[in-house]
Every structure is written in structure tokens, then in C-alpha cells.
Structure 1
Amino acid sequence: MLTGSTLARRALGRELKRLREGKQMKQVEGGRLIGVSPQTIGRMEDGLPTKVSDLYINALADGYGATDNERAVLLGLALEVRTAQKSGGGWWRAYADELNEGFDHYIGLEEAANRLSVWRVTMVPGLLQTAEYRRAMAWTEDPEMPSDQVEKRVQLAMKRQNRLDDPDFAVDIVLMESVLRDQIGGPSVMAGQLQRLAEVSESAAKISVRVVPFTASGHLGSLVGSFALLGFPKLPATGLVEPPVVYVEAYAGDLYLEREAEVTRYRNAFAEISRVALDRDTTRQLLLSIAKEYEA
């Protein structure tokens, strides 16, 4: 599986930060080692795109007192980053103008993940949206948006869904019933969208769609709000495994949570929400039943 450079950058940044803090050095001191600003060191440690030459890596390894094994890991990760970058980056780069600020980072994580758990209280997740549903969302967001711009967003959404064809990618989506009842685009669009959800859940063993009905009680879903939990495979070059990430999408900006305590809290919340969700077969019956209501 090709993970691209996103995970390698995160792993490299994590190792560099660990070594720097082990020497009780500030980012500004790390920057002096290679002649860059502390902000650049911060970008490297946060796994954001920046230069990762072997010259930089060796200088940092020297300054941080890295062992031979630690240096080899750093150089291996840096090579993996550069190799992925030479291929032109992720496919979504062509749609950069249509991505909310920072969302390209999420798509990179989604492309690299092998497990995705999603809880939604509003809107169908992008991976399962129909073209009509995504188009209606775009018009709702900006009724004055030019048609060609809308269609580019639809193309991006549809291309994202190629991820579902990967047999090693497991998806567990749990939706609040309100997602099914919110008439984005009107009854016809919603009927098609719910039929799509029913078809996907039935046809793909590794894609599960379940619904928490309005009648369910005693769960955290409404309190927690929508989120996605992403898990990752081993990096091919080094065998390292990046820790999971919780992604919380908000209207004014996105939030990424990586601390073990935070991830555990969201993982436990997802398990609690899943406990009150309908099973896959009952969910499918509900989806088709509401779709028929929209068609009536």
C-alpha cells in the first residue's frame, strides 16, 4: 500500500521532536543547528511539508546526540518523504483551490489510513456522498458559486471514493438518524443518497454503515459531536506505526487530536455510540424505508 509522504513526515517529525526534547533543547536551538527558523523546526516536527534533506537530518542527528540506529531511522523516513514527493504528491493537489484550508492534510491522512471510524450527527460523510448530494451541499454553502467550481468539488468528492476500493481499508460509519432526515437537496436527492448508503453497506464487507435511531437513549453522540478516528498501517521503509488521529471538522476550522488520552477518550465514545446503533441489516431496512418516504 502506498501511504504517500504524509505518514512519513509525521513519523519523522515525531522522532525529531523526541530527540530534541531528550536533549532539553528549544526549537530555536534546533533551528540554529541547520540555519533555519524555529518555525521551520516546528513545521518539521508537526509533519508539515518542508525541506528534509539528508544534510539537515544528519546535522540535527549530530546536535541531538542520536544513536546510529536513530540516525538510520531518521534518514530512512526522510528518504520515504522525498520519494513520495517526487511522484508529484497526492492526487488531490489538482483540487487544492477547492479544499478548505488544512483539509488537504486530512485527505492525506485518509489516503494513508487502513482503518476509519466515523460518527456523524449531521451530513453524510464525503466518502459515501452521491454526486447529487455533494452538489446540493456546495449550493447550500454558497448559492452564488459558479457551476464549474461546484463541479470541481463534486469531482473531488467522487475521486476520494476510490479509497473504498482498497480491500485493506476498513470503514465503520455510524450516523445519527438526523443525518437521514435532513433534506439536503430535497426528497429526490435524499432518496438517492440513502439508497447509496444501503447498497454500499450490503456490497462491501469492510464498509459498515449503521444508524443510531432517535429512540436510542443513554449515549454520548449528541454531546461528543461529529468526528473521525483514523488508524494507520506500518510504514514500508521503517516498519514504524504512526499512532491514530482523531479529526474533528468544524465550520471555522479543523482540529487534529493525537495525544493518547484524547484518542482513547474518542475511541471509547465511539464504542459507546456503536453499542446503541442498529445492526447493519436493520440499518439497511431503515435506509430503504426512509428512501421510499422521500420517493412518495
Structure 2
Amino acid sequence: MQTESSPTTLPRRVLGRRLRELREARELSRALAAKQVQLGAQTLWRLESGRGSEVKRMVINALCDLYESEDSDRRELLWLAEESRKEGWWQSYVDAMVPEVEVYVSLEQSARGTITWQSTLVPGLLQTAEYRRAVWEIAKTQRQRIDFDREIELLEKRQSRLQDRENFTFRAFLCESVLRRRVGGPQVMIGQLNRLIEAGELPNVSIRVTPFATPSHAGLINKDFVFIEFPEHLNPSLSEPPVVFIEGFTGDLYLNKPLEIETYRAAYSDIARVALDERDTRSLIETVLKELHSEI
């Protein structure tokens, strides 16, 4: 499922899911429900997918009337609609990101934890400014309208999530090639690998590498991905299931079907099975650092 810009992606996703559940409980097709409340079927699909524009109270009330919803459900949905209109801090950085990134940042900031597999580049939450610039130079044809200095400001603000030790965890599984690829040259990579060592000392951050010599694992046949988990709500119906993010050259994917989630949960578990532990990962990073220093 491709997605697009939204200032408050998580409340909108929860709202859409709850509306879909209520409709399905009444055994109504999307087309019939949309017709009954004078909406286009496509409009209702976008609303249920968490991709609609501003959600109006009158639409929520009309759908609740049609579905004969409980008063508690109506209050819950109206609250979610109100939450979906609130802007996140990242909205002030629209000049520093394309719409697809805006959606991802919104989910990242709402998450209680992310698990990522990266076979090519260091994940954004661990990148130095110099490494980011080197990556930006590679992709600048796709980012001609992006202000790089503002993008770095955005990146640093995103990275502050790593300091939220009580409410956010970050687990990164990296292929050894990520350490050895000379993005930006030896000097840039020295700074970047030192950053990995520093970040790995945080109690809520885990960085583990799969060496070239490891046995076969699921990461070899999967594209890089981020497994995003959200906080549990006191009201279970408001707890959003995990989402898998896959970045593409011409478009991003957000997967959330139960089978898809279980497939990627099994994938990262298989990668974890063969990855070095944190201590051995640090030793490998230090080995690569020595090699880089010898080149200067």
C-alpha cells in the first residue's frame, strides 16, 4: 500500500481501522456504506486506509449513525478525528523532506520501538551529518528541492528519539557491507563508525552485524525494511498493530496485513539468529576502524 503526506499519521490510521471494523461488523460493503452517507466509495476507502484529507465531524457522525455505533465508539472516533488534525513538530520541516518521508517520520515519532534490517546504508537514526551529506550527493537528482541544512536539522531532531530511553527502543541489524562501504570516503566512515559505537552504548539501542561469513538468513532474500511497533493503549481498540516500512526508489510501501507482519517478524528473528551479539559487533566495528585509519 502506497501512502502520502499526513501531519498525524497514527491517529488517522487508528481512526480508519476502527471505521472499517465497525462497517464490517454491520456486514456492509464499502460501496453501499459510502452511498448511504453520500460519500464516494474512493473517499471512504481513503478514510478507512488512514489516507483521507481532514476528517469532518459530520462524516464521522453520519457513519456512526449508519453503523448504529455505541456512544462510546462515537466519542472515541470523534476524539481520533480531532487528534488527526493536530500537527506534529516535523510539519515545520516540509522544506527538508519529500511527502513520503513526512509520513515515515510521523510514524517513527509515534513508535515505541523500531527494528530495522539494512544491507546497504547506515539507518537514518544512526547517521552522522557528513555521512548523510555523502548519501544526499548520491540521491540529489531526486532531492533538488530539498534544503540540505534543514534536512540535517530534521535528522538531528529525529535522532533525539534515541535519548528517550523509557519510551523508545531501536534495534538495528546491519550487513557487514554497511561497515565496509566507503560512503563519503575513509574519513567520513571513521566518524560514522565511531557514531555507531557511541549509539550502541545507549541502553535502549542494539546494533548487531551479520558478518560475510554467517550462514544464510532471511535478510539475504528480503529488501531492507523497518518494523515499527506502537505503544499499547489503555483501550485495546486504540492500540495500532505494527507496520513494516520498505523504502523504494520510486515509491515506499507500508505493510500491515497480519500475514505480512508475521512474515517480517519471522525475518528479523532469523536475522537475529545469525547476527553477532553487541560485544562482538563492537569488536568488528573497531577492526574496520583500524583498517580505515591505516588508509589515511
TM-score using structure 1 length: 0.89
Residue 172 of structure 2: aligned partner: 173
Aligned residue identity for 1:11: V
Aligned residue identity for 1:247: F
Aligned residue identity for 2:21: R
The alignment status of 1:290 with 2:288, answered yes or no, reads yes
After TM superposition, give the deviation of residue 147 of structure 1 in Å. Answer: 11
Cα separation, 1, equivalents of 2:82 and 2:141: 45
After TM superposition, give the deviation of residue 235 of structure 1 in Å. Answer: 4.1
Q: Which of 40, 54, 61 pairs up with 1:37?
A: 40
Cα separation, 1, equivalents of 2:145 and 2:65: 54
After TM superposition, give the deviation of residue 34 of structure 1 in Å. Answer: 4.2
Cα separation, 1, equivalents of 2:258 and 2:67: 25
User: How has the CA–CA distance of structure 1 residues 243 and 183 changed in structure 2, closer, same or farther, with 3 Å as cutoff?
Assistant: same
User: How has the CA–CA distance of structure 1 residues 209 and 75 changed in structure 2, closer, same or farther, with 3 Å as cutoff?
Assistant: same
User: How has the CA–CA distance of structure 1 residues 277 and 138 changed in structure 2, closer, same or farther, with 3 Å as cutoff?
Assistant: same
Report if the CA contact (8 A) 1:192-1:291 is conserved. Answer: no
Report if the CA contact (8 A) 2:229-2:242 is conserved. Answer: yes
Q: Which of 19, 24, 42 pairs up with 2:22?
A: 19
Residue 278 of structure 1: aligned partner: 276
Residue 121 of structure 2: aligned partner: 123
Residue 53 of structure 2: aligned partner: 50
Task: Single out whichever of 30-39 and 270-279 deviates more from structure 2.
Answer: 30-39
After TM superposition, give the deviation of residue 17 of structure 1 in Å. Answer: 1.1
Aligned residue identity for 2:242: P
Residues paired across the two proteins, number: 287
After TM superposition, give the deviation of residue 150 of structure 1 in Å. Answer: 2.3
The alignment status of 1:186 with 2:185, answered yes or no, reads yes
3-state secondary structure, aligned to 1:253: coil
Aligned residue identity for 1:216: T
Report if the CA contact (8 A) 1:211-1:283 is conserved. Answer: yes
After TM superposition, give the deviation of residue 51 of structure 1 in Å. Answer: 2.5
- Residues 267-288 of structure 1, C-alpha deviation per residue, up to 9 Å, x if partnerless? 1110110111111111111112
Residue 3 of structure 2: aligned partner: none
Runs of at least 5 residues in structure 2 that lack an aligned partner in the other structure:
1-6
Q: Which of 65, 68, 72 pairs up with 1:65?
A: 68
- Residues 55-109 of structure 1, C-alpha deviation per residue, up to 9 Å, x if partnerless? 2211101112223333232223223334xx1xxx122223324423422111111
Cα separation, 2, equivalents of 1:144 and 1:254: 14
Aligned residue identity for 1:79: E
3-state secondary structure, aligned to 2:247: strand
- The aligned runs of 1:1-296 (5 Å cut-off) are 5-82=8-85, 85=86, 89-142=87-140, 149-167=147-165, 168-202=167-201, 204-235=202-233, 240-296=238-294
Task: Single out whichever of 234-243 and 49-58 deviates more from structure 2.
Answer: 234-243
After TM superposition, give the deviation of residue 188 of structure 1 in Å. Answer: 0.5
- Residues 114-137 of structure 1, C-alpha deviation per residue, up to 9 Å, x if partnerless? 011011011000000000000111
Task: Single out whichever of 29-38 and 167-176 deviates more from structure 2.
Answer: 29-38
Report if the CA contact (8 A) 1:191-1:295 is conserved. Answer: yes
Cα separation, 2, equivalents of 1:148 and 1:277: 36
User: How has the CA–CA distance of structure 1 residues 239 and 165 changed in structure 2, closer, same or farther, with 3 Å as cutoff?
Assistant: farther
Q: Identity percentage over the alignment? A: 41
Report if the CA contact (8 A) 1:27-1:42 is conserved. Answer: yes
Aligned residue identity for 2:13: R
Aligned residue identity for 1:48: R
Report if the CA contact (8 A) 2:95-2:147 is conserved. Answer: no
3-state secondary structure, aligned to 1:208: strand
After TM superposition, give the deviation of residue 28 of structure 1 in Å. Answer: 3.8
3-state secondary structure, aligned to 1:271: helix
Aligned residue identity for 2:126: L
- Residues 157-204 of structure 1, C-alpha deviation per residue, up to 9 Å, x if partnerless? 2221111111210111110001111111011001110010011102x1
3-state secondary structure, aligned to 1:256: strand
Aligned residue identity for 1:201: G
Report if the CA contact (8 A) 2:95-2:146 is conserved. Answer: no
Cα separation, 2, equivalents of 1:223 and 1:290: 26
